[in-house]
Structures are given as structure tokens and as C-alpha cells.
Structure 1
Amino acid sequence: MTERRPPSPRLLSRRSWPEARFLADVLRTETVGGGLLLLGALVALVWANSPWRAAYAGLGEWVPWPDGAGLHLDLSLAAWAADGLLAIFFFVAGLELKREFVAGDLRDPRRAALPVVAALGGMVVPALVYLTVTLAAGGEGLRGWAIPTATDIAFALAVLAVVSSHLPQGLRAFLLTLAVVDDLFAIVIIAVFYTADFHPLPLLGAVLPVAAFALLVRRRHTWWWALLPLAVTAWALVHASGVHATVAGVLLGFTVPVGPGAGGGPGLAERLEHRWRPVSAGLAVPVFAFFAAGVSLVDVDLSAVLADPVVLGVAAGLVLGKAVGVFGSTFLLARFTRAELDEEITWADLAGLALLAGIGFTVSLLIGELAFGPGSPEDERVKAAVLLGSLVSAGLASAVLIRRNRVYRRISERESRDSDGDGIPDVYQERPA
């Protein structure tokens, strides 16, 4: 008798029905948030290049609390958007990371391998591309090596919703999980490589409000009048330590317990994520984009800008590095593990998704400010490069995914069939042998 070979492992396979419902809710919120992000960036670009551009610059530089210097809180509006509002974004990222590691795909090493490897490839290759370009030009701007390593999930999903609303669920889940892991690596990079003037005592002091926050949420006490002051105190102490204040949001998100709530309903982490994600996607990120994306091109030599090594490095890292990193690492993982893509997905689909991962916006702009200083000439070039690279990546991804949209539509119609009328699509139910 011939020995039967075990079936090949499947990459990007379908998630469970509860996980699929949660994913659909997240994708809807992030897609709307992506639209608002694009709107905020567009308004900023138009205003920054209008006759009233001085008012735009003045608004971002206005310091609402000049007497806060003693607490390191004499920040401009643009700095409050980057350091304050983005802490909400990273709090949601912390909640999502913990949920993925405890109850999501990342708890299973076999399922976690793909997004982790793809995220690593999608960060290492863009950094190498950036370093190669800048070193070839004399080494100017090496501090910005991490700028093209981030993927903006809201921006990417907004593009995806426009060009291909019927993408198979496995790919959508992969894009979301890839972005979650990408956020984790970005947080580590910001904390380790972009911390200046480190002061350990405020950071040690932040342990107390974080611990008190953790104690309350673990006992399921969700009193806003207690949790919000603790969160603000932790944020202020982390900010005073020199570590970027958004790290406080991640730490607070990690303290929230993951698991079912009373009677098997949504747990605390899921409820807090459901409550704060709209604030993050609908307010924090669009406002940050409004203040960060306003690059003025008035009286600017565009040929000189496009020839700048920082601009070339960031744009090439996003467009070329991300696509090669995400697609190449996934292909190598499949080759070495002898895994196959899910039957509904092709390598052309994954190529489009890899190009889509080159849309770097929120975290890329943030790292650009940390690397070169907000308002510096280098930071202005970074803004132009991030916008250019993101738009090129979006255009190339759209060209690939639009051609696949008819296939996605047929898949979506098949998945949505519910022959027994129980509210659960047939593809999520086991059929008797």
C-alpha cells in the first residue's frame, strides 16, 4: 500500500464565524476612519498650499497651555495631536494586540507564523532599501531608517473598500493581523530607537497609575472617573520620561483582561475596543493627519525634492521594500513549510495586498517627526515622501486588485448563502458526512 501523505497546511484560511463577525465590525470602523483620515490629509494639503497657509502653520504651532512647561506639557496643537491623541490609537492597538495573542489567531503558533514573518519581512526590507538609497547618496538622513517600515491599516482599508469590496475574508484578516503585528514592532522601534533625554524617575512613577489601572480593570471596575485620571497620569509621566507618550497607551491596553464577559457576552477588552476604536479611527488619527500631512509645495523645487535621498529612500522603501518584504517572506514561508494558499486565494491576490501594505501614513509620519524633529526641513521632505510612496502603492495595488474584483464578488456571493435561515452562512457550518 502507498503511504498517504498528510494534507499540506493552508495559508490564509477562513477564520471561525465569531472571529469573522468581530473582524467585520473592526473592518467597518477602520474603513470609515480611513475615509476621514484621507479627508483630514486632503484638507491639510489644500490649506498648506493656499494663500492662507500661514494660518495653517500658526494653528499647528499654537501652544494652548504655555504655563505647562514645568510638567513638559507646553505643547503645540500639532504636538498634542501626535503625543496625546495618538495615545488613544495606540491604546486600541494594545487592546487588539492582547486580544490577538490571547484569543485570536496569534495564540496559535501555526497561524501566527504567517503574519509575524510577513510583518518582519515588511519591516526589514523597507529599512534596508532606505539605508541602501541614503548610503549611496552619502549617508544623509540615516536616522530615518524606520520611516518606511509601518503600514497604515485605516488608509489601506479605505483604499481596499473603494477598489475591491469583495476581497476574501482570509486576505482581509491577514491584512488586519499583519497591521497589528506591524504596530507591535513599530511600538518597540519608537521606544528603543527614538527615545531622547531619557529620565528614569518619571517612567518608574508611571508604574503606579498603570498598576492601579490594571487592578481596577481586572476586577471589572470600569468607572470612567477613576480610569481616565489614572490613564492621563500614566501618559503624563511617560511623556516626562522622554519615552514617546503613546507607549503609555499600549501599556494600558495590555493590562485589560481578555475573555468572555458575564453570561458569555463580550469581554471587557472587546467592549473597550468597541468603545474606543471609533474615537481612534474617527477623531484621533484624522486630527493627527490634519496637522501632520500639511506639506507646502509653494515655491519648492520639485525636481530637487524628488532627487533628495531621504525622499527617494522613504518612497522606495514603501513602494518596493514593503511589496518585496511582505510578498517575498510569505512566498519563502510557503516554500519552506510546503504550505499552500487557501483554495479561494491566489498569489496575484497576495501581490496586490503586499502592494497595499506600502501605504504608510500615521506611524510613518510620526517616526519622521521623531527622527528629524517636527517642522524641520527633513521632516517636510519626509511628509512629501510618505504621501508620494503611499499614493504610488495605493495606485499599484488598485491596478492589481480591481482586476480580481469579479472573482471576489463571486466568492462573496457563495459565502453569504444561508440555506437554513439561521443567520449563519453555510460556509461556517459543518455539514454531515
Structure 2
Amino acid sequence: MCPNLHFVVLATQFAWFNQVSCVAAFTSTATVNLPRQVCQQHQRRVDGNAHTLPAHKYKPCVRPKNAVLSSPKDDTERNDIESPIQVLIDTVTKNPSNSIQFSLLMAMCGASLGPFLDSYHSLFGVLSYDTPLVFPLLGSIGESQPLLTCVTTYWVPLLFGLAGFLIGWLYIWFDAVKLGRDAQLDAESDELNPSIPKVLVGISYFTFQYWLSGICYAHGLDRATILALMSILAAGGFIALDGTISGLITSLATAIGGPLIEIFLISILPVPWGYHYNDFGETGFFPLWIVPVYFLGGPANGNLARLFWNSLNENEFDGIAPNESSQKQVQCEECQGTRLVSCPNCDDGTYVTYNRRVVCNACRGKGVVICRRCFNQYEDDPNDIESIRKLVDRLYETRVAELDETNIFQ
């Protein structure tokens, strides 16, 4: 039995050591003294208080080809980056209804698929239950045995449901933390928005690995061979289906926490409810090749979680509706009603530091940031960094499109 159950505490510890701290996109329009070499053009813009962005002078910045992404060491560290725990609280409480629906969906998917995955190991002799639950999936022909049988036990759906719930929330949590700290990460990237075919391929691939591990054991392959094969499948699957820091942290937590849970269950469950592996393996409880099987459960569940989460929240990010706060016209001397001002930390999206030109983390290479002078007159949440980034992106793209139509750049 291999439920993808793991410790949230263990996953949190991984998150603290693996998350990369970057500058958030929501920056103040006030001048910031940065420990770097500032070019004369930038100094003139700041000294002359030329960081406003009148509508008739608005133009998109063009990132130089030789510009490189800046390092957090090049900029003053932000003190207002939310802690991972606060990010989790904000993510869950932002829309309680969506959070509840997401939790139920992940739990139901885990509880539905789990017994069938577990049955591969039961049927092929990898493990045995003290009180097995056996039921046919496909009927028999004549008086022969059923064509397909599921062998599991009563508490397996609950464990797999809990595993789906935990893995799903860990993915969403770590994605939110990463988005809040990495100015170069795009919330609309393919990695964070998997397609339905990609999700189905991931689940099918994980199911195949589960089945193959049982087949290999049933045919007498030695532990080292099965471990090598499962590890290759797990690594290849993660690279092809995920490849994100969030996925790596969650998958590692699953690969470590899952076997630890199994040791706990094997040790404490009484005889009517217990189970055991038929090969005690290198650990005295199970063979080590079970670890990469757990690992691949991360991408399979994680992409499904991202698909559910994005679908539930798509109405919040699909665009700027006419009745939303971003369509209000507030008279502001700073931004002239555009809600965008020139970034005070760079020269049109880049700046020179230590004799090299780098892309500004504050504005993500756009050269503009949200105007703080009139921000409170709108209904946007100042703590929702992701939404503010999306708002800036859409305002920027809309303004560029309008100017392009009027041939401003010709």
C-alpha cells in the first residue's frame, strides 16, 4: 500500500530551505537609495522628480538584448515580503468557497484513484492486508475468474484522499510563495497552468509506474534493478511534467514523509486492520524502490491541483471587467489617471550596476509600477501581490495597444 501521505511540517521545512528570495513587484514610487552605480540618465530622472507618466508621453520600454536578470544582492532587500505561513493563510481565506471546493475535489480524486493504485501492489504480491477487501472490476467469462479485480482494504480511500488534499494544497501554497518572491516568475506560465492533456498524461504515467513496480516484483527482479528503473521513471516524469521548485519540494516531502507514515502504520495497526510488505527490503519494513514511486505522486497530484485551482479562480484573473475598480477614473496628479508611474529604481526597465546592465526586479523590465498616490481610492487589495502584478500587466498592455493604434511610435 503506497498512499501519497506526508507531513505538512516536513514540507514546510523544505520550503524554508529551498525558496529563493526575490524582490516583489509591488514597489513604492518614492525614491529608493540603492547600493549600486547609477547612470546619469537615471539620476536626472530621480532628481528631477520625473517619475510621473503622463498619458501623452507614455511609451513601452524595450529591454536591451544584453541586459541580464538582476540578483537580489543588487537591490535593497524588501522588508514587506510575507512569510510563507501568512501566504498560506491569505491564499486559503481569500475565497473560502473556492478553498473548500478545491479541498473536496482533491480529496475525492485521491480517494477514488488510490484503491486502484494500491491494488496493483496487492495483486502482484508486493504487500498483504490482514483483512483484504476484494471486489471484481470486470466480470468473468463463464465460470472463470473475474478479468480484473481490486484488492485493497477499508481505510485506503481515506488515506489516499488525505494524501491528495495535502499534496494539492502544498503545490498551491508553494506556488503562491514563489510568485510573491520571484519577480521574474509569470503566474500565467505553462508550468503553473497545466493543460488538461498534460494532467491526464501525468496521472496515467504515475499509474503506469505503480503497475510496472508490481510487475517487476512479481517477476522476481532484484531490488537494485527495480530501484534504478523506478528512479529513472520518477526523474524523467518530474522533468517532463513539472520541473518547478514547488513540485520538487512537494515531491521530496512525499518521498520522505510517505515511507515514514508507512513505518508508523505497519508498527501500530492491530492485526485485523494491519498490513505488511512481503519483502522487508533494506529498511526492515519495505524495499527502497517504494521511495521513487512516492516521489512521482507529486507531479501527478500537483498538476491536477493547479488545474482545479486555476479553474476555480479564473474569474478573478481573466481580465479587467468594465465594472471593476481598475476601470475607475480617478484624478491623480501623479499618474494622470493611468494608475501607472515610471519605476523609480531603473531606466525604462533596466539599470546599470557594477558595469553591467540588468533587468529591474521591481518593475520586471516594464519600466512602470502601480501608482501609490491614488491606490487607496481603488478597491484593490494591497496585500495581494499576484493580483497587483496582473493588474499592472494588463494596464501596461492596454495602454501600449492604445498608443499603437494612434501611431504614437511612428
TM-score of Structure 1 vs Structure 2, range by shorter chain: under 0.3
- Choose 1 or 2 for highest CA Rg: 2
Q: Please state which structure has a larger fraction of its residues in helix.
A: 1
Normalization by structure 1: what TM-score? Answer: 0.25
TM-score by length of 2: 0.26
